[in-house]
Structure 1
Amino acid sequence: MKAHRLFRYLPLLAIASVSADTFELKDGTTIEGTILKEDGSDYIILVQVTKSIKDERRIPKANVVNQVAEKKDETEFLEIAKLVPTREMQTAEVYQSQVNKVESFIKRYPQSEKKPEALKVLSVLEKEFDVVQAGGIKFQGKVISAADRLPKAYALDAGIQAAAMKAAADQGDMTTALRAWSKLETGFQGSSAYRQNIPYAVKIMKAQLSTVTSSLATFDARTKQRADGLAAMGGSDRSLSTEAIREEQEAYMARLERDKAAGHKWPPLDPYVKAPLEETKRSLETEIRRLESTGTANLPKSEEAYETAWAAVTKQGATPQEVSTALSAASSASLPPAYLDMLKKAAPATPAP
């Protein structure tokens, strides 16, 4: 859950602006901003308070011991460098967007000292993109080609969802972890990954339930503390902080609406918005009871059905009857349509007589 503290809105000079110089002051602090003008012995500097709020600050020149001008290519390359190693399970669309971003950097800064490194990043992205676009995937640090992926696609994709759930939980992002579990449960109930990870899903749900319950118990005290902190501020600081809080809350509510429209079961949580906390608490309690009483004996054997059908339809000399039987068995094993389509595409256009 994202932590909110009132002091986040107070040290405005420490908030970096986009495309800003860095000013080191005698007292050891730094300010990142853009000089608007010089007014006698002072600099008038524009700093970015929030995404849409800017503020002008007057700083005596005598207090500035060093000014470091931003090198835009170096600043932008920091984001380029983060693109590799690539994330697990990236789609071809994400790869294409990243390739475009690096190509744009190289075009805009052809003489940059960072160009050789950018070209290396581009090479990695293009190679992986070619594999993923052809039906492959990156998983557990390896780029798996379509030829290696398709025979066990259902089991592999289920394992990917389980890995995504665990990775998010390890990072403390329980909302993402729960969403990954929902995808695993919705699309891969017939996989070994689903059966094996039911206890783990219950574990993260109980951890999240504890966090949400605690947040609800301290909700009134927390909101009062923030209100008291705002009331104690001076007029200008209070106005800026109030606007920053309002802006953040509007962004959160907009995200809630987008996620609801997208059909996400688990909403993002904000410790200053009560309704999603209460909704999540009820959902967690219900899901924990359900999963703890779930038996696996009657779950479909979709994983085995897919792999058996793949072997049958791709067998050298497969007959029409063998192909038809394999596809029928796969269809009755609760395989999602996407995996049935994979089997149909793999079947020979003209089976052997």
Structure 2
Amino acid sequence: MKAHRLFRYLPLLAIASVSADTFELKDGTKFEGTIVKEDGSDYIISVQVTKSIKDERRVPKANVVNQTAERKDETEFPEIAKLVPAPDLQTAEVYHAQANKVEAFIKKYPQSPKKGEALKVLAALQKEMDVVNAGGIKFEGKLMSANDRLPKAYALDAGIQAAEMKAAADKGDPVSALRAWTKLETGFQGSTAYRENIPYVVKLMKAQLTAVSSSLASFDARTKKRAEGLAAMSSSDRNMSNSALQEELDEYMARLEKDKAAGHKWPPLDAYVKAPLEETKRNLETEIRRLETTPTANLPKTEEAYDAAWAAVTKTGATQQDVSTALSNARSASLPQPYVDILTKAAPAPAPSN
């Protein structure tokens, strides 16, 4: 095959090649490919015509004025570089997997000019992973050890729950967002994060109510259209489709029962199962009315109570009476037991009796 036949493919090859060297010909044309073998005075070059199709081209060696080897470390490094800064609330397991990925890159390309940058990425990941493994977290871009969390543990955990709600909503997962809200309301009703996010969740609920109401309004037409589509199929195709639909329904109903047993207030939704849609609509209407009339001034001041109790039990010279009063006040403000336990652990040990 003559070289000019290759030129017809050059614009395409420049786009389609994924992993190859760059060849420059005498006329200035450049393309990407991989030398398969040398045949006398010619190169046999494998080129990627499309993502799934390769072709071999014969190119005279004399026509090649420059061949630049692909730097795979250069093309792979951007995936390594974007691992930092790590996002908030990343788990130790994710940190570990990312560190392994960086280590594999360094091992694969020990002479790479990018090795120094990769080592910095690895060091940053390992530093944060060590903190998370020891009970710390990264939140709002700040890395906090387990001990750093304690003075503001209640407010911090409430803020994390609110952030998880918003993250789920941003991903287009309103059911998970509403479940996160339920956790925030159940465990942190006396927090600033709860009070400040009431308008946000009301807006979220109204948007979900609109979507669910629309789905219910079109439910009969939708199920009728699907039934008509099935009826128009051949018998064998209809049987296969019905089997597939039944399998999907069984999986959905099993998930529904599992979530119900777990006590989830907001069920997963399926466009062809009416009862959960109706239940969600009722719950949304009730919750919107309740939240819009909630007197936030009457909510417990749990966050303030925790902060005050922490200051009291950790102050220099705190007495057992100071500790007892602080814990009593915290409990009166509806502080959940895990946070009472934090305060109790932080308090000075009782003086030994004589």
Task: Verify same fold: TM over 0.5.
Answer: yes
Q: 2:92 aligns with which of 91, 95, 101?
A: 95
Are 1:168 and 2:199 an aligned pair? no
Are 1:258 and 2:258 an aligned pair? yes
C-alpha spacing 1:68/1:247, structure 2 compared with 1 (3 Å): farther
Helix, strand or coil for the counterpart of 1:272? coil
1:317–1:352 contact (8 Å) kept in structure 2: no
* 2:69 corresponding residue in structure 1: none
Shift of 1:238: 4.3
> How far apart are the structure 1 equivalents of 2:143 and 2:352?
34
* 1:201 corresponding residue in structure 2: 201
C-alpha spacing 1:163/1:67, structure 2 compared with 1 (3 Å): closer
1:99–1:122 contact (8 Å) kept in structure 2: no
Shift of 1:196: 1.4
1:139–1:160 contact (8 Å) kept in structure 2: yes
Helix, strand or coil for the counterpart of 1:89? coil
Helix, strand or coil for the counterpart of 1:263? coil
Are 1:272 and 2:249 an aligned pair? no
AA partner of residue 137 (structure 2): I
> How far apart are the structure 2 equivalents of 1:159 and 1:257?
30
Aligned pairs for 1:38-117 (under 5 A) are: 67=52, 88-90=88-90, 94-96=91-93, 99=96
> How far apart are the structure 1 equivalents of 2:312 and 2:134?
23
* 1:181 corresponding residue in structure 2: 181
**Structure 1: which 5+ residue stretches go unaligned?**
1-63, 70-78
Aligned pairs for 1:293-332 (under 5 A) are: 293-332=293-332
* 2:217 corresponding residue in structure 1: 217
AA partner of residue 95 (structure 1): A
Are 1:142 and 2:142 an aligned pair? yes
1:318–1:352 contact (8 Å) kept in structure 2: no
C-alpha spacing 1:251/1:332, structure 2 compared with 1 (3 Å): same
* 2:290 corresponding residue in structure 1: 290
Shift of 1:302: 0.5
C-alpha spacing 1:177/1:328, structure 2 compared with 1 (3 Å): same
* 1:345 corresponding residue in structure 2: 345
> How far apart are the structure 2 equivalents of 1:183 and 1:140?
20
C-alpha spacing 1:104/1:348, structure 2 compared with 1 (3 Å): same
* RMSD over equivalenced CA pairs, Å: 3.9
AA partner of residue 166 (structure 2): K
Shift of 1:186: 0.5
What do the CA deviations read for 1:241-300 (whole angstroms, capped 9, x no partner)? 434333322222222122112111101111111110011011111111111221112211
C-alpha spacing 1:282/1:95, structure 2 compared with 1 (3 Å): same
Helix, strand or coil for the counterpart of 1:309? helix
* 2:8 corresponding residue in structure 1: none
Task: Report the more deviating stretch, 126-135 or 80-89.
Answer: 80-89
C-alpha spacing 1:351/1:146, structure 2 compared with 1 (3 Å): farther
AA partner of residue 258 (structure 1): K
Shift of 1:303: 0.4
> How far apart are the structure 1 equivalents of 2:129 and 2:329?
34
C-alpha spacing 1:86/1:263, structure 2 compared with 1 (3 Å): farther
C-alpha spacing 1:231/1:200, structure 2 compared with 1 (3 Å): same
> How far apart are the structure 2 equivalents of 1:274 and 1:88?
37
> How far apart are the structure 1 equivalents of 2:297 and 2:52?
68
C-alpha spacing 1:226/1:190, structure 2 compared with 1 (3 Å): same
Shift of 1:192: 1.2
What do the CA deviations read for 1:60-111 (whole angstroms, capped 9, x no partner)? xxxx987579xxxxxxxxx999987655434xxx52476379759989xx86
C-alpha spacing 1:237/1:197, structure 2 compared with 1 (3 Å): same
Shift of 1:333: 1.1
Helix, strand or coil for the counterpart of 1:135? coil
Helix, strand or coil for the counterpart of 1:264? coil
Aligned pairs for 1:22-41 (under 5 A) are: none
1:318–1:351 contact (8 Å) kept in structure 2: no
1:312–1:326 contact (8 Å) kept in structure 2: yes
- Pairs aligned (count): 285
AA partner of residue 270 (structure 2): D
Are 1:154 and 2:154 an aligned pair? yes
What do the CA deviations read for 1:135-170 (whole angstroms, capped 9, x no partner)? 322222332222321111111111111222222222
Shift of 1:208: 0.7
Higher RCO (CA 8 Å, separation ≥ 6 residues): 1
**Structure 2: which 5+ residue stretches go unaligned?**
1-48, 55-78
1:313–1:343 contact (8 Å) kept in structure 2: yes
C-alpha spacing 1:126/1:296, structure 2 compared with 1 (3 Å): same
Helix, strand or coil for the counterpart of 1:143? strand
> How far apart are the structure 1 equivalents of 2:226 and 2:119?
48
